[in-house]
Amino acid sequence: NAGVTQTPKFQVLKTGQSMTLQCAQDMNHNSMYWYRQDPGMGLRLIYYSASEGTTDKGEVPNGYNVSRLNKREFSLRLESAAPSQTSVYFCASSDVLAGVGADTQYFGPGTRLTVL
Amino acid sequence: AQSVTQPDIHITVSEGASLELRCNYSYGATPYLFWYVQSPGQGLQLLLKYFSGDTLVQGIKGFEAEFKRSQSSFNLRKPSVHWSDAAEYFCAVGGDDMRFGAGTRLTVKP
């Protein structure tokens, strides 16, 4: 079991360039998430997908798009990167408990993105 | 909207000493509460969680946390800290729309 995998691990972009961050999980989880982590701000939710075919905005969705390609994969796209999007990006997945909602989230190792 | 406050940005304790990390939350309904730990350069790992029932929950690595509804708190404790506990600790509340605190960095002195 690889758990949650993310590619790439590191990326440097110039302002205005686009890129897609890939995430895959092999735990058969329904829910998947994208977060960004900035110093002193903890993790902030960008988008999440509660099931295949659905996506919802989180706390900081502006400048990002997502695709839930299938149950395993959830990608994050930056169409026109800006220096304010320099951050560490984490993907996570979770199972769902009946009557409770999302349970423990399992995190990938992160992607460190720098936008110049 | 739910939110989490971790009042301590950085805490230093001596190895073998006890530890308490504070967490206060704001949530409209019964909160689902979590503590995660992050080692440098790594993703987050769950330490423990509270959904309902006994307000004192046990987690991995000897950690425990107590849910106090009257104080809107979910503080993390460990009776004796080990050098390997040095990391950043995050409190979180919610389900799909999870909210994380800003984190508390723990340094352990030998």
Would you say residue B43 has pLDDT above 80?
Answer: yes
Q: Which residues of A touch B (CB under 8 A)?
A: 4, 31, 33, 35, 40-45, 48, 50, 56, 58-59, 90, 92, 94, 97, 100-110
Grade residue B60 by pLDDT with cuts at 50, 70 and 90.
very high
- The confidence score (pLDDT) of residue A92 equals 94
Residue A72 buriedness (CB in 10 A; 0-12 / 13-18 / 19+): middle
Look at residue A14 in the predicted model and tell me its pLDDT: 97
How far apart CA B96 and CA A45 sit, in angstroms, is 10
In chain B, % of residues over pLDDT 90: 77
Q: How far apart are CA A114 and CA A38, in angstroms?
A: 12
Give residue-wise pLDDT tens across range A9-62: 999 999 999 999 999 999 999 899 999 999 888 899 999 998 888 999 999 999
Best residue in B98, B99, B104, B105 to probe A by mutation, most A CBs within 10 Å?
B98
Mark yes or no for CB contact A42/B100 under 8 Å: yes
Nearest-by-Cβ selection for B103 from A35, A42, A100:
A42
Q: Which residues in chain B are contacts of A43 at CB distance < 8 A? A: 44, 90, 92, 100
What is the three-state SS of A44-57?
EEEEEECCCCCCEE
At A95 the pLDDT is 84
CB contact under 8 A, A42 and B97: no
Residue A23: predicted pLDDT: 97
Q: How far is C-alpha B39 from the geometric centre of its chain's CA atoms?
A: 14
Mean pLDDT of chain A: 92
Residues 6+ apart with CB under 8 A from A62: none
